[in-house]
């Protein structure tokens, strides 16, 4: 999945690099775009039964965290509409790969935000700081490696990961 989504990750990384996350205006736009993608993707995961696949799902979901940050900064979340996909385990693993992986970028972005001169920005870090130090990425990867997936499942996981990146890309383009 990493190789199949590397170009999409790079493009997103470049787009996000244009935001100056130390300013309230840019940080609010970043959070709004992230929420526009995260909220419907987490809702779709729940619809697809993510809690039955990951017993620690309650610790992984970040919708409440990003809503709280947005409320602090006077932002709004307008969830994107998602492409129709079969809500099966391949969808769960492919989509969650992207959401859990985004924590790695979040750790970097958190350091940028921490350097903001605005205390309101510095405090609105529930989303970027969510799950820090708990090893959620590693536990996701180990569960992914134990998932018995057929070649067809793997194709579908990659498709779901690409779709999830596309939702973020579209949200950032609209921000
Ligand atoms: C400016 C924003 C971002 C930066 C600087 C960034 C940076 C990084 C870094 C440093 C890694 C670790 C690479 C490695 O260990 O090989 C990573 C991994 C990853 N990031 Fe990002 N990222 C950003 C945004 C995002 C977003 C918005 C998403 C998803 C919506 C995302 C999804 C992923 C995924 C899935 C991985 C795991 C790749 C793997 O399989 O190892 N990233 N990112």
Residue 140 counted as domain residue: yes
Q: What is the pLDDT of residue 95?
A: 98
Q: Is 2 in the pocket of ligand 1 (CB under 6 A)?
A: yes
The domain that holds 112 is classified in CATH as 1.20.910.10
Q: How many CB atoms lie within 10 A of CB 100?
A: 20
pLDDT at 91 over 90: yes
Q: What is the pLDDT of residue 68?
A: 98
Residue 143 counted as domain residue: yes
Domain coverage including residue 85: 16-174
Residue 2 counted as domain residue: no
Tokens of 173: 């383009």
Tell me the per-residue pLDDT of 51-61, one tens digit each, with 9 for 90 and over.
999 999 999 99
pLDDT at 145 over 90: yes
Residue 29 counted as domain residue: yes
Residue 11 counted as domain residue: no
Residue with CA at minimum distance from ligand 1 atom 4: 105
Q: What is the mean pLDDT of residues 24-53?
A: 98
Q: What is the pLDDT of residue 118?
A: 96
Residue 9 counted as domain residue: no
Q: Is 74 in the pocket of ligand 1 (CB under 6 A)?
A: no
Which candidate, 131, 70, 75, 138, places its Cα nearest to that of 106? 131
Q: Is 9 in the pocket of ligand 1 (CB under 6 A)?
A: yes
Q: What is the pLDDT of residue 148?
A: 95
Average pLDDT of every residue of the chain: 97
Q: What is the pLDDT of residue 71?
A: 98
pLDDT at 167 over 90: yes
Q: Is 17 in the pocket of ligand 1 (CB under 6 A)?
A: yes
Q: What is the pLDDT of residue 107?
A: 94
Which candidate, 174, 157, 167, places its Cα nearest to that of 53? 157
Residue 8 counted as domain residue: no
Determine what percent of the chain is predicted with pLDDT higher than 90: 98
Q: What is the pLDDT of residue 75?
A: 97
Q: For the chain, how many structural domains are there in total?
A: 1
Q: What is the pLDDT of residue 175?
A: 85
Residue 6 counted as domain residue: no
Q: Is 16 in the pocket of ligand 1 (CB under 6 A)?
A: yes
Tell me the per-residue pLDDT of 97-118, one tens digit each, with 9 for 90 and over.
999 999 999 999 999 999 999 9
165 CA: nearest ligand 1 atom: 30
Is residue 60 exposed (0-12), middle (13-18) or buried (19+ Cβ within 10 Å)? buried
Which string of DSSP letters, residue by residue, matches 117-160? S-HHHHH--TTTTTTTTTTHHHHHHHHHHHS---HHHHHHHHHH
């Amino acid at each position: 999945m990493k190789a199949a989504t590397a170009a999409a990750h790079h493009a997103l990384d470049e787009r996000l690099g244009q935001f100056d996350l130390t300013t309230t205006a840019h940080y609010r736009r970043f959070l709004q775009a992230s929420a526009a993608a995260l909220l419907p993707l987490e809702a779709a995961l729940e619809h697809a039964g993510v809690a039955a696949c990951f017993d620690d799902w309650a610790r992984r979901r970040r919708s409440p965290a990003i809503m709280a940050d947005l409320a602090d900064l006077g932002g709004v979340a307008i969830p994107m509409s998602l492409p129709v996909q079969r809500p099966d385990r391949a969808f769960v693993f492919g989509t969650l790969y992207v959401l859990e992986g985004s924590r790695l970028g979040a750790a970097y972005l958190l350091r940028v935000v921490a350097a903001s001169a605005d205390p309101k920005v510095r405090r609105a870090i529930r989303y970027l700081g969510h799950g820090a130090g708990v090893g959620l990425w590693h536990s996701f990867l180990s569960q992914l490696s134990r998932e018995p997936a057929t070649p067809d499942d793997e194709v579908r996981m990659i498709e779901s990961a690409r779709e999830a990146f596309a939702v973020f890309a579209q949200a950032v383009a609209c921000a």
